[in-house]
Amino acid sequence: MKMILAVIQDKDSPKLTQNLVKAGIRATKLASTGGFLRAGNTTFMIGIEDHRVDEVLDLIRTSCRSREQVVSPTTPMGAQMESYVSYPVTVQVGGATVFVLDVAQFEQF
């Protein structure tokens, strides 16, 4: 058994939730916040049998897309003031950060 932790952008959460439900895959959703943009994310915790891991990864790939976003940093990006960026910058957001972990034991009560 595996535990898949997928951190995705909030905008992609409804589509991934819908696709997981259609596939009969249970998941727990947690609200989370990204560190750099301080934007809302959703973290999915998915316990799944080993043979279905690729299926879940494919659902995540098709549900979560990268996009560009223009942001105006409000704090220095480094320890020194000269590294402060005061003009809008374009950053890539979205997609998914996924961890696949071995599960030593699973219990459901």
CA 105 – CA 109 distance, rounded (Å):
13
User: Which residues, at least 6 apart from 81, have a Cβ–Cβ distance to it below 8 Å?
Assistant: none
Q: Does 77 score more than 70 pLDDT?
A: no
pLDDT 10s digits, 15-66:
999 999 999 999 999 988 765 556 678 999 999 999 999 999 999 999 987 7
Which residues does 91 contact at the CB level (< 8 Å), separation at least 6? 36, 37, 68, 69, 70, 71
pLDDT tens digits for range 94-106: 678 999 999 999 8
Domain 2-71+88-102 class, CATH top level = alpha beta
Residue 76, token pair as written in the block: 């220095």
- Quote the pTM value: 0.75
Where along the chain do its domains lie? 2-71+88-102
